[in-house]
């Protein structure tokens, strides 16, 4: 069943991100599974962020009430991108990898919680119901396109 509004669509991806973060931290240090989960999380985070920035943050940036919350959320996306990149460069067997994975997981969970508790409320007052439905369709289409594109790299 397709998501009716942008927030339902985003929450589906948020749940997947939370699940992947848990799996990443539980994966055995010497397993190929650890690298597979990392790649899946990397693609999920990047596809979600790109589509979310285009179809939620951008419209909210246009309203004065949404300016600061959007900027804050964008900066957190950037920080998560850097943590993902750092984890990709870390040795998968060492303690440094696990420390970086925990930092990434914590930052992702913080961002999702803040977004769901604060940003969704602010943006929900800015967008009409019709906009929320329209943005959900655009977000989902772009999210799927980005996932395919990123998986090819």
Is 62 in a helix, a strand, or coil? Answer: coil
pLDDT in tens, 91-126: 766 678 989 999 999 999 999 999 999 999 999 999
DSSP state letters, 27-43: S-TT-HHHHHHHHHHHH
Kindly state whether residue 65 falls inside one of the protein's structural domains.
Answer: yes
Query: Residue 89 belongs to a domain with what CATH number?
Result: 1.20.120.520
Mean pLDDT value across residues 126-147: 97
Kindly state whether residue 136 falls inside one of the protein's structural domains.
Answer: yes
Q: What is the pLDDT of residue 153?
A: 77
Kindly state whether residue 55 falls inside one of the protein's structural domains.
Answer: yes
Return the closest-CA partner of residue 151 out of 56, 40, 50, 45. 40
Kindly state whether residue 1 falls inside one of the protein's structural domains.
Answer: no
Mean pLDDT value across residues 12-38: 93
pLDDT in tens, 44-54: 999 999 999 99
Kindly state whether residue 130 falls inside one of the protein's structural domains.
Answer: yes
Provide the whole-model pTM: 0.93
């Amino acid at each position: 069943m397709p998501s009716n509004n942008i927030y339902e669509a985003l929450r589906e991806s948020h749940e997947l991100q939370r699940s992947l973060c848990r799996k990443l931290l539980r994966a055995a240090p010497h397993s190929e599974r650890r690298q597979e989960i990392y790649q899946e999380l990397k693609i999920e985070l990047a596809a979600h962020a790109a589509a979310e920035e285009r179809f939620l943050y951008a419209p909210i940036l246009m309203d004065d009430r949404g300016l600061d919350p959007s900027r804050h959320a964008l900066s957190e996306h950037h920080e998560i991108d850097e943590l993902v990149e750092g984890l990709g460069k870390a040795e998968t067997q060492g303690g440094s990898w696990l420390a970086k994975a925990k930092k990434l997981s914590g930052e992702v969970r913080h961002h999702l919680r803040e977004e769901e508790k604060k940003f969704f409320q602010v943006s929900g007052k800015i967008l009409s119901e019709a906009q929320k439905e329209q943005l959900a369709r655009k977000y989902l289409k772009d999210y799927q396109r980005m996932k395919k594109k990123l998986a090819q790299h």
